[in-house]
Structure 1
Amino acid sequence: MILTNKAFSGFSVNDIKKAKSFYQDKLGMEVTDGPMGVMELHINKDSKILVYPKPTHSPASYTVLNFPVDNIDQAVDELSSKGIRFIQYGGEIETDEKGIFRGGGPLIAWFEDPAGNILSVIESPERGM
């Protein structure tokens, strides 16, 4: 068993400068430069996510980062006004014209960072997910 009370996640991007601009300027996150060319996304005072450059980066086919929000319509509108385009899905996870899945469970909308990684905003009665 791993005996630790801290852990962190990370994912790759193909262009760290574009990623830094996106996460800092479009999403409004605190971003700092880390060691060896990586960057850190600060979620709160104790949590961070490592984003590292990888020349052979391939975007994940799943959601790598979820942002809980109080009001998904407001979050989607705000991000859309900053030029973020939401992914339109059909089938079992069909999204509406704004890109929001409203088919049961939490309301969720997916979008991509400049490296093609899938992110989401998710509205849930349990924001502490």
Structure 2
Amino acid sequence: MSLATCPIATMLPVTDTDRAKDFYANTLGLPFEGSDPMGELLFGLGGGATLVLLPREAGTQSASTAMSWKVDDLEAEIAELEGRGVVFEDYDLPDLKTVNHIAETDGVRAAWFLDPDGNVLCVHTR
């Protein structure tokens, strides 16, 4: 068995599992697969991957992108997510500037948004 062929689980800390479940299931449309005995919420992702939301105290989130979905049509995905209430981040930094929520660098186009706990999420295309 090789790790290169094994499905992965991405784990994100959340402070309020009810609020997180609503965001990931209803706003993002991820299929909720249940919770485990420790209260962790499980969501299905493409390729057999799993998103695990871990109940944690505030302040455990990373300021960096925690998760990114590769999409076929970035503008359409942004519009769909905005229609569900997602607010995209805009940046005007020396090395990262967004136009209409999208930054382009080295052939990758990406847009970022936050979950209710401040975890940085992204949609991107090449």
TM-score class normalised by the smaller sequence: 0.7 to 0.9
Q: Return the TM-score normalized by structure 2.
A: 0.86
State the Cα deviation string for residues 23-73 of structure 1 (Å, max 9, x = none). 111111101222111101211362212111102443211111101110111
Task: Note if contact 2:8-2:50 (Cα within 8 Å) is conserved in structure 1.
Answer: no
Quick one: distance in 2 between partners of 1:28 and 1:56? Answer: 24
1:94 equivalent among 94, 97, 101: 97
Aligned Cα root-mean-square deviation (Å): 1.9
* Alpha-carbon spacing, 1:68–1:100, altered in 2? closer, same or farther (3 Å): same
1:58 equivalent among 57, 60, 73: 60
* Alpha-carbon spacing, 1:75–1:7, altered in 2? closer, same or farther (3 Å): closer
Which SS does the other structure have where 1:84 is aligned? coil
State the Cα deviation string for residues 89-110 of structure 1 (Å, max 9, x = none). 11211001x2111344211000
Q: Return the TM-score normalized by structure 1.
A: 0.84
Quick one: distance in 2 between partners of 1:76 and 1:7? Answer: 25
Question: Structure 2 matches for 1:81-120, cutoff 5 A?
Answer: 81-91=83-93, 92-96=95-99, 98-120=100-122
Which SS does the other structure have where 1:37 is aligned? coil
Structure 1 or 2: more strand by fraction: 2
Letter aligned with residue 93 of structure 1: L
Give structure 2 stretches of 5+ with no counterpart.
none
2:41 equivalent among 39, 49, 56: 39
* Count of residue pairs the alignment pairs up: 122
Counterpart residue number, 1:76? 78
Task: Note if contact 1:12-1:57 (Cα within 8 Å) is conserved in structure 2.
Answer: no
> Share of identical aligned residues, percent?
25
